[in-house]
Amino acid sequence: MMNRSFKLTAVLSLILVAFGCQTMKGTQDTQSMADTETELSVARAFIESGRPDKALYELKAVLEKEPESVGAHTLMGLAQMALRNPAKAVEHLKIAWNLDPSAQNALNLSSAYLQAKNLEAAQKIIVKGLAVKETPPYRHKERFYHNLALIAQMKGKQSVAEKAFRKALEENPTFYLSRQQLAILLGKAGKVEAAKEQWDLARIACPLCLEPTEQLAKYYESKGDLRTALGLVTDFKKLEGINPPEAKRALELEAELNMTRAKLAKQAASDAQSR
């Protein structure tokens, strides 16, 4: 999973480029190619660590030397998306797609169009991406269906969105983003038990993501089952590798549940005395 500090991945499906043969067109000596790939790796690390502004400097330097570097245009597009500059993101990701019309580049461009709210262009490039014939075949088709679901949601077509999220999960049952968004969609539609089922599966797909645990804890709290709710949060806190903000929120959630339990116990004691 991409580092969640890259906040855009909360809703958009992005795949950072692999380097090597697709990095640039044209002829370069071995040392120059190695230098370029190092610069791209540094830029990628900045994006993944939530510092896309730092990536821009590295990428501008690469593009000055290699204006047809697919990797540089792709990373520049993703960095611009993280900085909420959709027009620039589309510009660079469209260049990457034109230089290398691969499924991966179609996916990234569709996400940029989504951020720019150009839904028709996003849908068209998704259709093209799904039609790309590659060897080996593209392995992440669920991400296309996820973006189709987001398009449907943005158009207010919730039933179409639900079908597309489910199609994404048929392709990859462990794809957390679609599982998460489907759970949210079902919850908003008042389908509480169906949403709970999806949060259960989301928790399996991403054990280090707090949101499924928090939503399940709230579900059990609403049922009056505070023991189960607290147990879920306690189990989450024991995991290794939780990022600091989510660890802090887990402590807050645990405190809130304990406070609710204390209030209920106090009320029960008061009711017993009054009888």
Give me 129's structure tokens.
């991406």
Q: How many CB atoms lie within 10 A of CB 55?
A: 25
User: Is residue 114 assigned to a domain?
Assistant: yes
pLDDT at residue number 1: 36
Task: List the CATH number of the domain containing 29.
Answer: 1.25.40.10
Amino acid identity, position 5:
S
DSSP label of 74: H
Q: How many domains does the chain have?
A: 1
Tens of pLDDT along the chain (275 residues) come to 333 333 444 445 555 554 443 444 444 566 667 778 889 999 999 998 889 999 999 999 999 999 999 999 999 999 999 999 999 999 999 999 999 999 999 999 999 999 999 999 999 999 999 999 999 999 999 999 999 999 999 999 999 999 999 999 999 999 999 999 999 999 999 999 999 999 999 999 999 999 999 999 999 999 999 999 999 999 999 999 999 999 999 999 999 999 999 998 888 888 777 76
**How many residues can be counted in the chain?**
275
Q: How many CB atoms lie within 10 A of CB 172?
A: 18
pLDDT at residue number 21: 36
Q: How many CB atoms lie within 10 A of CB 156?
A: 8
pLDDT at residue number 37: 85
pLDDT at residue number 271: 77
Handedness of CA 113, 61, 19, 51 (dihedral sign): negative
Residue 129 CB contacts under 8 Å (≥ 6 apart), including other chains: 103, 105, 106, 107, 110, 138, 144
Residue 103 CB contacts under 8 Å (≥ 6 apart), including other chains: 129, 130, 132, 134, 138, 140, 141, 144
User: Is residue 253 assigned to a domain?
Assistant: no
pLDDT at residue number 240: 95
Q: Is 211 helix (H, G, I), strand (E, B) or coil?
A: helix
User: Is residue 240 assigned to a domain?
Assistant: no
> Please, which contacts does 29-37 make with residues 24 or more away whose CB atoms are closer than 8 Å?
32/65, 36/62, 36/65, 36/66, 36/69, 36/72, 37/71
pLDDT tens profile 244-259: 999 999 999 999 999 9
pLDDT tens profile 185-194: 999 999 999 9
User: Is residue 267 assigned to a domain?
Assistant: no
Query: 4, 177, 142: which is closest to 82 by C-alpha?
Result: 4
pLDDT at residue number 176: 95
159 contacts 150 by C-beta, under 8 angstroms: no
pTM given for the model: 0.85
User: Is residue 14 assigned to a domain?
Assistant: yes
On the question of a cis peptide bond just before residue 101, with omega within 30 degrees of 0, the verdict is: no
User: Is residue 111 assigned to a domain?
Assistant: yes
Q: Which domain holds residue 109?
A: 1-118
Report the alpha-carbon distance of residue 260 to residue 138 in Å, rounded. 49
Report the alpha-carbon distance of residue 179 to residue 45 in Å, rounded. 27
DSSP label of 240: T
Query: 142, 93, 96: which is closest to 122 by C-alpha?
Result: 93
User: Is residue 164 assigned to a domain?
Assistant: no
User: Is residue 41 assigned to a domain?
Assistant: yes
Q: Is 118 helix (H, G, I), strand (E, B) or coil?
A: coil
